Structure 1
Amino acid sequence: MKKLLMILMAVGLTSGILAGCGTGAKESQGGTSPNNEAEVENGQAAQTENTATDNGAEKKDIAQVTATPTEPGEGETCSMCDMEVYHHDHEMGKFTGQVVTADGKHLFTDDVGCLLNQVRILEEKPQGAWVRDYNTLEWVPVGDATPVRASIETPMKMGFALFGTKEAADKYVAENPMLAPVVTSMDDVDNIALERRKVKLAKMKEAEEKAKPAENMDEHMNH
């Protein structure tokens, strides 16, 4: 994870320097149904089950290109769980994240856990990945963000608020003791995201195994 964050921080710095030269193209992931999270990840699981570890060091190097964050389109859904991606003016919009892939596609996520898992399974190093600052709603390179875990509602119930600076995170902790907030690290967030993904993949595999006898029985009866 540390190598993955170093890559993302380097990409974020490059993107910030080059931002005046152009903007990234938006390619929406809309049009899919947000009703069945497991169905969406099922296809991904078959291709990525063996890469459900932090493989940031294995990502291929790509040419330095300009990448800037953009806003999600109408009807945008999470590239990992297919749930709704919220806009900045929605209460849950402060948890939205995005990644620009090596070929320039903008993939949006509804929570930081989905963002980290999306970056994890990419075949090539992304051009950039961002989360929103909890206070300002500005896009912050994920590697630069300071996470705070608290008793707050988030789209995927991870309970992390992200801040652009350590000072902002410390201030939030000091001003919200009733939420039991704790400043943590992106390593901790990534470990939790990875474990949740492993559990989900295991449940999906178990469901597939249970479904096989029924399918075989149906085929036998049809013959």
Structure 2
Amino acid sequence: MKKWLTLILVLALFALAACGQDGASDKDKNASDDTKQTEVSKEDQKTKEETAKTDASKPDPRLQEPTADTKCEMCNMKVYEVTDDLGKFSGQAIKEDGSIAFYDDIGCLLNAELAHNEKNQKYVRDFNTLEWVLVDDATIVKTDLKSPMNWGYVFFKNKEDADKFIADNPSYKITALDVVKQEAKERREAKLKKQAEQQQQNGNMHDNMQNMSHNGHNH
């Protein structure tokens, strides 16, 4: 009888030990899952904070970045990305309907409003940080740097940066936005006039050829 009691007691102790191990295993597993969940939550929070920080650095959260395939709305030329040396000259506009349009140089950005009779929020890149800045708030510097459409204007969010840039490059000068707008308008009008003259010449040439052909048939 005592042997049976001893055997039952031993089996009971084994059973309790096994339950304890299973309980500890489940507890460890739950703790591990909680740690992983905490890590995921922290990572999500970090991503959200970085996104919020990026958006906060933008003058407008709707601003976008050009891609390798982006074309200028005005001239249909390539709009350079921020990683390209010519990307510092790129511009973009947020239109009244909220849509985005990109431009390869300041002249195209300004003339788009004239061509389409629009009033857009116009942005250019800060020469130092390459961040977007409202063109109306930027300090504009005329340089001899080669830009996509040979305008050569660069922009600074802070005037102090523009002054330092000019101190290092005495031949450069600060230029008012109205001056750039007038230059853009005049260049566009000259281009349209040249196109009209070319079309007139082509039309006259076509008429002359038709007259020659008609006279030849009469003879």
User: TM-score scaled by structure 1?
Assistant: 0.65
Which is richer in helix? 2
SS of aligned partner of 2:85: coil
Is residue 209 of structure 2 the alignment partner of residue 215 of structure 1? no
Query: Which residue, 112, 119, 122 being the options, matches 2:106?
Result: 112
Distance in 1 (alpha carbons) for counterparts of 2:154 and 2:117: 28
Partner of 2:72: 78
Q: Tell which has more relative contact order, 1 or 2 (C-alpha 8 A, sep 6+).
A: 1
Partner of 2:3: none
Partner of 1:171: 164
Is the contact made by 1:98 and 1:129 (CA closer than 8 Å) also made in structure 2?
A: yes
Distance in 1 (alpha carbons) for counterparts of 2:118 and 2:124: 20
Distance in 2 (alpha carbons) for counterparts of 1:184 and 1:174: 15
Moved more, 197-206 or 167-176: 167-176
SS of aligned partner of 2:154: strand
Distance in 1 (alpha carbons) for counterparts of 2:126 and 2:154: 8
Computing the radius of gyration from Cα coordinates, the structure with the larger value is 2
Q: 1:157-180: per-residue Cα shift (whole Å, max 9, x none)? A: 111111112111111101223xx1
Give the counterpart letter for 1:81 in structure 2. Answer: C
Structure 2 gap ranges (5+): 1-54
Q: C-alpha displacement at 1:219, in angstroms?
A: 5.0
Distance in 1 (alpha carbons) for counterparts of 2:76 and 2:195: 16
Q: C-alpha displacement at 1:78, in angstroms?
A: 1.1
Return closer, same or farther for 1:181/1:140 CA change in 2, 3 Å cut-off: same
Distance in 1 (alpha carbons) for counterparts of 2:118 and 2:190: 25
User: TM-score scaled by structure 2?
Assistant: 0.66
Partner of 1:96: 90
Give the counterpart letter for 1:122 in structure 2. Answer: H
Partner of 1:148: 141
SS of aligned partner of 2:136: helix
> Aligned pairs, how many?
158
Q: CA RMSD in A?
A: 2.2
Q: Percent identity?
A: 40
